[in-house]
Chain A
Amino acid sequence: GIQVEQSPPDLILQEGANSTLRCNFSDSVNNLQWFHQNPWGQLINLFYIPSGTKQNGRLSATTVATERYSLLYISSSQTTDSGVYFCVMGAYGSGNTGKLIFGQGTTLQVKP
């Protein structure tokens, strides 16, 4: 079946450091999103990025669909960046069906 793999599974940073999170997927995507789940459990949209590069403040993301990976960059990390980062890919199937698959997440802890 379709697989979505994220790395690293866990990451500890000192405040101010930069990091790159990776998401590999095994099939063609119609949709790729990055989410941040904060310590209170809320799922916050970061990027909808099936291809190309986007930036939003200290965060940016790049998806290279032909090579089946996406990267999330966090610069000048802050303690509020702590939480779990998920990528989710969507692939539309035949017969009006589809797949939406989450990666297992990267747990980030930013220390002051």
Chain B
Amino acid sequence: DTAVSQTPKYLVTQMGNDKSIKCEQNLGHDTMYWYKQDSKKFLKIMFSYNNKELIINETVPNRFSPKSPDKAHLNLHINSLELGDSAVYFCASSQVKRGLYNEQFFGPGTRLTVL
């Protein structure tokens, strides 16, 4: 059973398009995350949702909008894609108890290429 799954695994699209990446976790966790890994392998958090509430919102262009329909899903919608959005996007989940971030589990990543 896949704990954290993402779809699609690869996404190739043209500049200016709108696209979504989906993430689902079956671990029963209450917190989910989106990270971006750039070409230099640097991983940076973008968003975090706890029980469908946004708790981390780093400096990310407002073209990126996370959507959490329930605790098990956190989707990432990107409007007006730009070349610089090309990266690998990772979803993760964990349980947060009394403000402590417990062990995170990562999905396999989505490689986005904007042409």
Which of these binds chain A: B22-30, B38-46, B65-73, B77-85?
Answer: B38-46
Query: Is the CB of A12 closer than 8 A to any CB of chain B?
Result: no
Query: Is the CB of A41 closer than 8 A to any CB of chain B?
Result: yes
- In the assembly, what is the distance between CA of A84 and CA of B55, in Å? 28
Q: Secondary structure at chain B's binding surface: helix, strand, loop or mixed?
A: strand
Q: Using C-beta atoms within 8 Å of the partner chain, give the interface range for chain A.
A: 20 to 34
Residues of A close to B56: CB separation below 8 A: 97-100
CB–CB B48/A42 < 8 A: no
Residues of A close to B48: CB separation below 8 A: 98, 100
Min distance, Cβ B113 to any Cβ of chain A, angstroms: 14
Residues of B close to A97: CB separation below 8 A: 55-56
* Other-chain residue from A45, A96, A104 in contact with B42 (beta carbon distance below 8 A): A104
The listed residue with most A CB atoms (<10 A of its CB), out of B41, B44, B90, B105, is B41
Min distance, Cβ A70 to any Cβ of chain B, angstroms: 14
Q: Using C-beta atoms within 8 Å of the partner chain, give the interface range for chain B.
A: 20 to 34
CB–CB A102/B42 < 8 A: yes
CB–CB B43/A102 < 8 A: yes
CB–CB B99/A92 < 8 A: yes
- In the assembly, what is the distance between CA of A98 and CA of B102, in Å? 12
CB–CB A86/B43 < 8 A: yes
A residues contacting B by CB (< 8 A) are 30-31, 33, 35, 37, 41-43, 45, 48, 84, 86, 88, 90, 92, 96-102, 104-105, 107
